[in-house]
Structure 1
Amino acid sequence: MNISRCSGRMTAEAFEIMTCNNYCIKVLNLSNSRNFLSNDGLVPVLRRNPLLTVINFTSCSGLSNICLQSLASECPNIKTLILRDCHWVNDDGLLSVALRCDQLVTLDLTGCWNLGNNTLKTVIGKLENLEVLSLAKIYGVTNDTITILAQTCKRLRHLNIHGCWRVTNDAIWLLGEYCSSLKLLQVKDCRDINEISLSKLRAKKVRIDVAPPVSAPNLAKLSRLSLNLQT
């Protein structure tokens, strides 16, 4: 069920009518449902749909950690959880999910600023099946978090730590050592991550969202090409 396409026009009453007789929803996209969605409207839906495997809460500012606790107890088989820009998410809410939903494969925590580094370490340590993880713009993330991720989540394919400025080359080096399935790494605005660690990943064909520096031979080629174009 994709509510995101009409979230701007949806009301709480209409959402209740659409969901009240549904007991087998597996995919629920509530992205940008900030105008009508509340815990009172969502929790009954979670209780009726224990088969949910994918849920997207992007920018659902009217919710609280009550809905995460309900999700953990009612939908333990969830595999994809998107919490992008859900600034209300706190340590207790996320821990409740990690303790019950150990089948999570995709977890997007972009912009969940209230999460502490210790909580993230605990959560990641319990979710060994993770393949896609975004910790972007969680400014408390440190090398310790990425170290546990590298040691625990051997199936990791995509990691986004955009803006996590405390993470350094040491942690990225460990990713290269332990996460052989890694295909995509986003490290934009991570000031202490550079080619010292990234070059190793590039050699393994990992896609990275920052361009490598121009080498001297390539710079010379570009200069010659520029001269040829001018003539």
Structure 2
Amino acid sequence: MAAMTYVNCSSVPTLFTSSLQFVVTHLPQYITEVESLPSRVKDRLLNLLSKRGLLTDDNISKVIHDRVKVLDLSECDVTDDGLQAITLCKQLRKLDLNAAKENRTSITTRGVQLVAQSCPILQTVYLRRCLNITDDAVISLSQCCRQLMLLNIGGCRQITDASLEALGKHCRMLKSVNFCKTKVTDDGVISLVTGCCKQSLTEIHMNHCIRVTDESVEAVMECCPRISILLFDGCPLITDRSRQALEELSGPQTHMKQVTWTIY
């Protein structure tokens, strides 16, 4: 009797998946046809292209559509021209421009301003280590995107107190903000945590901000009742006074889950 061979059908890619993979591999050849595909197919292509870092200024306008809600460009080499193309995405909720490996210099304030002005319901914006981002970019985001909840501007070395002041003034829903390795001072941190987002803030990353002092830590603990993550290691002006503030101001109702700091 001949032996029976069983095939696990769940491990065999569908024709649709195989076709997508083929198009991704040969994108330049089919870029014109891609532009006319339905949005649900484009969504799958966007996911594959973004994961492989294949979205560029030249092709992004062919793949996106006006109902895109999430766009991850962290692995992709795009410039302000690429950001110009996504301004049609009025329903965009999340934009990830974090520099995945090295610093990113191709994205500037101009590109972020274009997106902020065109995508008013953005809730999550990641700009980690985008070196050419200035306060004007964050000010535009805070003024135009009032639903902003998560913002990462860590490593954006040109950021100053003006960014935190704008966030504190306009972003009532802000929950998490990362401004590590920036030029902010106590004035900026205090403006942020005493602003309209003081009740919503749960997470603050200010590692390696060499100009902040114990006053910033005390202000966070005093003004933000829902804070659960506070990171301020690598801040040389922080002293043991901050540890004391954490002990004194962390009562039985505290939400604190994670704290890191360096005492010099």
Whether these two folds match at TM > 0.5 is yes
CA apart distance, 1:53: 0.7
| TM alignment of 1:112-151, pairs within 5 A | 112-138=156-182, 140-151=183-194
Tell me, in whole angstroms, the C-alpha distance in 2 between the residues paired with 1:211 and 1:42.
38
Secondary structure at 1:209 match in 2:
strand
2:46 matches 1:5: no
2:145 matches 1:101: yes
Write out per-residue CA displacement over residues 10-42 of structure 1, whole angstroms, 9 at most, x where no aligned residue: 4444433322xx1100011110323xx122233
Question: Aligned match of 1:178 in 204, 215, 223?
Answer: 223
Unaligned ranges ≥5, structure 2:
1-45
Tell me, in whole angstroms, the C-alpha distance in 1 between the residues paired with 2:201 and 2:96.
20
| TM alignment of 1:161-200, pairs within 5 A | 161-193=206-238, 194=240, 195-200=243-248
Question: Aligned match of 1:38 in 67, 79, 83?
Answer: 79
CA apart distance, 1:126: 1.7
> How does the TM-score come out when normalised to structure 1?
0.80
CA apart distance, 1:67: 1.5
CA gap of 1:211–1:39, structure 2 versus 1, over 3 A, is closer
Structure 2 residue identity aligned to 1:151: T
Give the match for residue 92 of structure 2: 52
Q: Is the 8 A contact 2:72 2:97 kept in 1?
A: yes
Aligned length: 205
> How does the TM-score come out when normalised to structure 2?
0.71
Tell which deviates more after alignment, 87-96 or 121-130. Answer: 121-130
% identical equivalent positions: 24
CA apart distance, 1:161: 0.2
Unaligned ranges ≥5, structure 1:
213-231
Secondary structure at 2:151 match in 1:
strand
**Larger Rg over CA atoms:** 2
CA apart distance, 1:142: 1.0
Q: Is the 8 A contact 2:70 2:93 kept in 1?
A: yes
Alpha-carbon RMSD: 2.1
Tell me, in whole angstroms, the C-alpha distance in 2 between the residues paired with 1:133 and 1:11.
28
Tell me, in whole angstroms, the C-alpha distance in 2 between the residues paired with 1:109 and 1:162.
12
Tell which deviates more after alignment, 192-201 or 81-90. Answer: 192-201
CA gap of 1:211–1:64, structure 2 versus 1, over 3 A, is closer
Q: Is the 8 A contact 1:170 1:197 kept in 2?
A: no
Secondary structure at 2:106 match in 1:
coil
Tell me, in whole angstroms, the C-alpha distance in 2 between the residues paired with 1:168 and 1:114.
19
Write out per-residue CA displacement over residues 116-165 of structure 1, whole angstroms, 9 at most, x where no aligned residue: 22343233322122100001000x21111111222122211110000012
Tell me, in whole angstroms, the C-alpha distance in 2 between the residues paired with 1:17 and 1:136.
35
